[in-house]
A and B are shown apart, each in its own frame.
Chain A
Amino acid sequence: MDGGGAAELREAHRLTGHSDRVWSLAWNPFTGSGAGPVLASCGGDKAVRIWKRSPDGAWHCSDVLEDTHNRTVRSCAWSPDGKLLATASFDSTTAIWEYSGGDFECVATLEGHENEVKSVSWSSSGSLLATCSRDKTVWIWEMQPGNEYECVAVLQGHTQDVKMVQWHPFLDVLVSVSYDNSIKVWADDGDDEWHCVQTLTEADNCGHSSTVWALSFNKKGDRMVTCSDDRTLKIWDTSADLSQPKTGDDHESWRHLSTLTGYHGRTIFSAHLSSEDIIASGAGDDTICLFTEVEGPSYRLILKKEKAHDMDINCVRWCPQDPRMLASASDDGTVKLWELRGNALD
């Protein structure tokens, strides 16, 4: 990197408490007055931990959510208003937690998947929830009054386990990524019937050649990044609005923009776009990389942080309230909070 004030990723806090690998992280999106950032983490110890910043700037674990899932908690997601936390588990259930009266209470359990649930995501309105599983299906759930969740669609199309689901930042468009190497885009046809509206594959779209582990959208919704066991990150132009039923032959669709290769030596498990459009990636090589988009569009490596953890990095997440704070979770059982300093966007 050239010039003064080069970007640097500084370890600011190390959060310990999980007794097994940490799989996933979720920042509470609520940005109300006085509330500091809140982070949820979950992992192989079957527990969820809630982390908060104290007035003195230190971080502490305020709550431990346990005894509900009896296997690994693979992922967690806050509702858009920050009031509910959903947790997906290898025990084949998804739990919904509500913070009330000073405690987290499990207010609903979503059952139906045949085996491990791997990911859960809330739609931007908060009225829909998506889950995915090793059973190769994606389920869409509608929130009803009284903490009831009704399954409104079971999406079949992947030929292997589905690793992650993520809603578009403001459209009711859902993306799933899979062990079958494909990325699928799902939308409803206006009649509450959900369909796969696009499949991104290696053969047809310069897609991935092995398991796709994760995806993330930027805030504007016109970029998506995916990462894979093939050790690449791929950037997609997602500006076409796939939420509208297709009319005629004009094939508006998402398309491949760029492939970032040669930066990670092992499986890339996580990628996340910040509100400043900085891509963070975390991988099985214990390394975190940051990238930014430049004219072209093409992508430039901002920095590479080797040995960011002692073991595989499973999840990286930018803090919504502080676009220069990154959280990472690892097989080493720790969560780290990083500060991005210097001129990252030069």
Chain B
Amino acid sequence: MTVGMINANPVVHERPERAAHPHAADALDPLDVFDTVRDIKDPEHPYSLEQLSVLSEESVSVDEKLGRIQITFTPTVQHCSMATVIGLCLRLKLMQNFPPHFKIDIKVAPGSLANEESVNKQLNDKERVAAALENPNLRQLVDECLCSNDSHSR
């Protein structure tokens, strides 16, 4: 079965140069978080979420005191059915890389998606997230998006 791509011709940006950024050893800053997720592959395209401007440094906010990481991403098109997959990828990556006590909130950028509210609700329902990650097909899709980035990070 051939399914038409949601966004056949995305705008792709150059992979920017990245310099090691100095920071305090213990403190977690937004750039740490961004570094961890910027190279996640888009579920549809052989490009990273950063290259497709789904994510930028400004997408991440961290409140170390409250132990909170928030990511706001921008799907490439208004009717992106892949938004929930991208959200799952972001959550799993953060769960794998940061201390488990961090509270993670993932949202799509306001106005970026037609069904913004329902996607946000789904992405932050941990029971649905847990069930989705136990679904073998979805899990494979998510794992593929995550493993492709290893060669680029740090």
Binding site for B on A (CB under 8 A): 21, 44, 71-72, 74, 90, 115-116, 118, 134, 161, 163, 179, 210-211, 229, 266, 284, 286, 310-312, 331-332
Contact = CB atoms under 8 A, between A and B. Distances in A.
B126 A312 contact: yes
Interface of B: 100-101, 103, 121, 125-128, 130-131, 134
Main secondary structure of the interface of A (DSSP, over half): loop
Contacts of B127: 74, 118, 163
A229 B127 CA distance: 12
Contacts of B128: 134, 161
A72 B132 CA distance: 11
A257 to B, nearest CB: 27
Contact of B121 (A44, A210, A284, A332): A210
Nearest to B102: A311
B145 to A, nearest CB: 22
Given A310-B100, A311-B100, 17 more contacts: A72-B131, A74-B127, A90-B134, A116-B131, A134-B128, A134-B131, A179-B121, A179-B125, A210-B121, A211-B121, A229-B125, A266-B103, A284-B103, A284-B126, A286-B101, A312-B126, A332-B100
B134 to A, nearest CB: 5
Contacts of A44: 130
A16 to B, nearest CB: 15
A229 B117 CA distance: 14
**For the complex of A and B, 3 pairs with smallest distance between CB atoms:** A71-B134, A116-B131, A90-B131
Contact of A311 (B101, B121, B134): B101
A134 B121 CA distance: 15
A187 to B, nearest CB: 27
Contacts of A115: 131
Given A179-B125, A210-B121, A72 B100 contact: no
Contacts of B121: 179, 210-211
A72 B126 CA distance: 13
Contact of A331 (B100, B125, B134): B100
Nearest to A70: B134
A72 to B, nearest CB: 6
B130 A72 contact: yes
A286 B103 CA distance: 10
Contacts of A118: 127
A211 B103 CA distance: 18
